[in-house]
Amino acid sequence: MPEPPHPDAGPAAAVPARRPDLFPPGLPVAGTLSRHASGRAWLARLPRLVREAAARWELRLSAPFDGGSCSWAAPVRLPDGGPAVLKVTWPHREAAGEAAALRAWDGHGAVRLLAHDPERHALLLERCVPGTTLLDAVPETDAGPEAERKAALPGAALSPSEAGRDAAPPGAALSPSEGLCRAADVLAELWRAPRPPDGELETVAAVCAEWADLVRARQDRLRPPYDPGLVELGATLLRELPATARRDVVVHGDFNPGNVLAAGGPRGWLAIDPKPMTGDPAYDPWPLLTQLDDPFAHPAPGDVLRARLRLLAGRLGEAPERLAAWGVARSVESALWSAAHDDVPGGAQELAEARTLAEVAGL
Give pLDDT tens digits for 267-301.
999 999 999 999 999 999 999 999 999 999 999 99
Position 16 in a domain: no
Q: Is 271 helix (H, G, I), strand (E, B) or coil?
A: strand
pLDDT value at 146 more than 90: no
Same domain, 207 and 236: yes
What does pLDDT average to over the chain?
88
- Domain interval for residue 302: 138-262+278-361
Same domain, 151 and 223: yes
Position 60 in a domain: yes
Give the per-residue pLDDT at 145: 44
Same domain, 104 and 143: no
Using an 8 Å Cβ cutoff, are 66 and 75 in contact?
Answer: no
Which of residues 104, 126, 148 is at a domain's end? 126
Q: Which amino acid is at 355?
A: R
Q: Which amino acid is at 212?
A: A
Sign of CA dihedral 321, 323, 324, 326: positive
Q: How confident is the model at residue 3 (pLDDT cuts 50, 70, 90)?
A: very low
Checking DSSP bridges between strand 83-89 and strand 71-77, what pairing results, if any? antiparallel
Same domain, 329 and 198: yes
Position 192 in a domain: yes
Position 201 in a domain: yes
Same domain, 198 and 335: yes
Domain containing 319 — which CATH number? 3.90.1200.10
- Among residues 136, 227, 248, 254, the one annotated as catalytic is 254
Angle among Cα 186, 78, 21 to the nearest 5 degrees reads: 95
Give the per-residue pLDDT at 1: 34
Count of the separate structural domains present in the chain = 2
Position 12 in a domain: no
Position 210 in a domain: yes
Same domain, 49 and 166: no
Position 315 in a domain: yes
Using an 8 Å Cβ cutoff, are 141 and 177 in contact?
Answer: no
Domain containing 37 — which CATH number? 3.30.200.20
Helices (H), the chain: 28-33, 37-57, 98-105, 134-137, 145-152, 176-191, 204-222, 228-240, 286-291, 301-316, 320-340, 344-361
pLDDT value at 159 more than 50: no
Report the length, in residues, of the chain.
363
Same domain, 184 and 290: yes
Which of residues 126, 156, 172 is at a domain's end? 126
Same domain, 243 and 106: no
Helices (H), 7-158: 28-33, 37-57, 98-105, 134-137, 145-152
Same domain, 230 and 256: yes
Using an 8 Å Cβ cutoff, are 251 and 285 in contact?
Answer: no
Give the per-residue pLDDT at 51: 97
Q: Which residues contact 19 (CB under 8 A, 6 or more apart)?
A: none
Which of residues 98, 126, 154 is at a domain's end? 126
Using an 8 Å Cβ cutoff, are 247 and 228 in contact?
Answer: no
Give the per-residue pLDDT at 139: 87
Q: How confident is the model at residue 11 (pLDDT cuts 50, 70, 90)?
A: very low
Give the per-residue pLDDT at 13: 40
Same domain, 122 and 147: no
| pLDDT tens sequence across 60-96 | 999 999 888 899 999 999 999 999 999 999 999 999 9
Higher pLDDT, 20 or 269: 269
Phi and psi angles of residue 227, each rounded to the nearest 5 degrees, phi first: -65, 110
Higher pLDDT, 24 or 330: 330
Give the per-residue pLDDT at 19: 83
Position 21 in a domain: no
Q: Is 21 a catalytic residue?
A: no
Give the per-residue pLDDT at 143: 52
Closest CA to 269 of 164, 192, 177: 164
| Percent above pLDDT 70 for the chain | 87
Using an 8 Å Cβ cutoff, are 123 and 98 in contact?
Answer: yes
Same domain, 191 and 113: no
| pLDDT tens sequence across 250-260 | 999 999 999 99
Same domain, 234 and 335: yes
Give the per-residue pLDDT at 14: 46
